[in-house]
Amino acid sequence: MNADKPIIEVRNLTIGYDARIILKDLNFEVAPGEIFGILGGSGCGKSTLMKHLIGLYEPFKGSIGIFGENISQANEAQKRKIMQRFGVAYQGGALFGSMTLAENVGLVLEEYTDLNAEQIRRRVSEKLALVDLAGFENFMPGELSGGMKKRAGLARALALDPKLLFFDEPSAGLDPITSAELDKLILRLRDQEGTTIVVVTHELDSIFTITDRVIMLDKNTQGIAATGNVHKLLSESPDPWVRNFLSREGLKRAEMAK
């Protein structure tokens, strides 16, 4: 793939539910190897945008290109093909309750690879170890804490070594230390595997640590208030709302840097 070609390309996108528009006329792209943040206040449509990007809902208008294919106009079979190429880590883990962690993580391997049982077992253990859940193979999701579920969900999303990962609220509901560990893991994925990662978050700490570029959604205009690097936006954005949104944490960091 051409390194300059964006992995995600959003053009004139208008989305919402039933007859209600949540966001309109969005334009942005995500470059390969980028950690891309979707920011904004509560209820502005971050999760809505992500659900549309991954093809769960059809947009009202516009197009979403993923790996150069228009997921919003694909038929079911094509959609499934595209979906197999990216991973999604859901906010609450979304693990299948009737299956053990190993079965959860191994499911896509069984579905889409020719690996034998032993190879799958090894790959599963590897992925669980990656998210610090080694030894929990035979636990049921119901026996795990919220943070563990989230990490197991990440392991499942990574099972096929996707080139693109979507992560909804990686740090919401986690203690600061676990959340920092997760941030490190996200950075490592990008640095070592070259994975492109789209995160939805309102945890300012993570935003400043991990994201290369962000879009900030504005509930009032139903559009993008700002695009760019958060550090730059904090110091240079002409929009006081944007600076204000980023500033509390930004100030703290600036002080720490001194």
Partner 1 sequence: MPSQQEKFAIFDPKKIFFQVLDFTGESMRGFCSTLRHPGKLRSRDFFYYFDLCGPKSLPIVLLIELLTGMILGLQAAIQLRKFGTELYVADTLGWSVFKEMGPLMVGIVATGRAGSAFAAELGTMKVNEELSALTTMGISYGRFLVAPKLLAMMLAMPLLTVFGDLAAVAGGGMIAMTFVDLPISVYNARLFEVLNPITFLLGIVKALVFGILITLAGCYMGIEADSDAQGVGRAATSAVVISILLIVLSDALMTQIFSYIGY
- Span near ligand ATP by CB under 6 A; candidates 41-49, 101-109, 119-127, 205-213: 41-49
Q: Is 42 in the site for ligand ATP (CB under 6 A)?
A: yes
Q: Does 47 bind Mg ion (CB under 5 A)?
A: yes
* 43 interface partner picked from ligand ATP, partner 1, Mg ion, none, CB below 5 to 8 A per type: ligand ATP
Binding track over 129-168 against partner 1, x by CB under 8 A: ------------------------x--x------------
Burial 2-11 (b: 16+ CB within 10 A, else e): eeeebbbbbe
Nearer to Mg ion, 51 or 123 (CB): 51
What's the closest the beta carbon of residue 83 comes to ligand ATP, in angstroms? 19
Residue 133 sits in the site that holds ligand ATP (CB under 6 A): no
Q: Which is nearer to Mg ion, 88 or 109 (CB)?
A: 88
Contact between 81 and partner 1 per CB under 8 A: yes
**Which does residue 202 bind out of partner 1, ligand ATP, Mg ion, none, counting CB within 5 to 8 angstroms by kind?**
ligand ATP
